[in-house]
Amino acid sequence: MSVPRAGSVILFTLLGMAAGCNIVASLTYYLRPRQIQKPEYGFTADSRVAVVIESARPRHENPVFNEALYERTVSMLGDGKSPATILPLREVTQLRRTHDDFAKWSLQKIGRTLEADQVLYIRIDRLVIRPSPEHPLLTPEVDLHMKLIDVSAPSVHARVWPEEKEGRAVSCQRRLTEAPDTNPDAADVQARKLGYDTAYWVSMPFIKVDLEESPPVEP
């Protein structure tokens, strides 16, 4: 059955409008403002921040991961225009080595001793690079909690971020990789890369983040 001329005009007009709507929708998508997430907590220009990284259990201790996490976090805070001054990790390490009772110190005492304004506390709850020495695969993954402590505030109000009492939970993992016997440093390489990847999630609450960009992953 043929379509009357008037009906054809209406049909093509509707099709054209539909196509136009798709074009407009596409243009609207690409021309819209970037989705930027503001910092949850903004450091002031004169803030001195000490970073304390501790493991909940000795088997989760990994200096390679800790150093990589610290280094990349400092880098990302700087790239994100955070005005805070991050104290060298070695200052905390030196305190730990020279004070036998360091494990009993409060975070506020650590901060005051280092003349810091805040302490970014990172507790490694679980860190696995290789399930066992004989395991054929490396399975880098970490679970941690972190919180920001104000050194000069009353102890009951020392936690200034986040609202959660236990701190902000962060988890990160990398894809499985082989653990060749010919490369004894493979586990350390993956520990370092996991530290770099995790730093994005640690620094994210304190800087502006473009939510349209994928989180960086170390190759």
* Residue range 109-136, pLDDT digits in tens: 999 999 999 999 999 999 999 988 888 8
Output 187 or 32, whichever has higher pLDDT: 187
**For residue 32, which amino acid is it?**
R
Per-residue model confidence (pLDDT) at position 19: 52
CATH class label, 40-210: alpha beta
Chain-centre distance for alpha carbon 36: 16
Per-residue model confidence (pLDDT) at position 24: 53
Secondary structure in 3-state letters for 76-135 = HHHHCCCCCEECCHHHHHHHHHHCCCHHHCCHHHHHHHCCCCEEEEEEEEEEECCCCCCC
> pLDDT tens, 161-218?
999 999 999 999 999 998 877 677 999 999 999 999 999 999 999 999 998 899 999 9
Under 8 Å between Cβ of 124 and 60 = yes
This prediction's pTM: 0.83
Under 8 Å between Cβ of 43 and 82 = yes
User: Locate tokens 């350390």: which residue?
Assistant: 188
User: Which residues, at least 6 apart from 201, have a Cβ–Cβ distance to it below 8 Å?
Assistant: 170, 172, 215
Per-residue model confidence (pLDDT) at position 43: 95
Q: How many helices (H) and strands (E) does the chain have?
A: 5, 10
Domain boundaries, the chain: 1-32, 40-210
Per-residue model confidence (pLDDT) at position 129: 96
In 3D space, the residue among 56, 129, 116 whose CA is nearest the CA of residue 89 turns out to be 116
Per-residue model confidence (pLDDT) at position 113: 98
Burial of 187 (0-12, 13-18, 19+ CB in 10 A): middle
Cα 24 to Cα 11, 15, 21, 32, 72, distances in angstroms: 20, 14, 5, 12, 41
107: alpha, beta or left, given left = phi > 0 and alpha = psi -120 to 50? alpha
Per-residue DSSP letter, 65: H
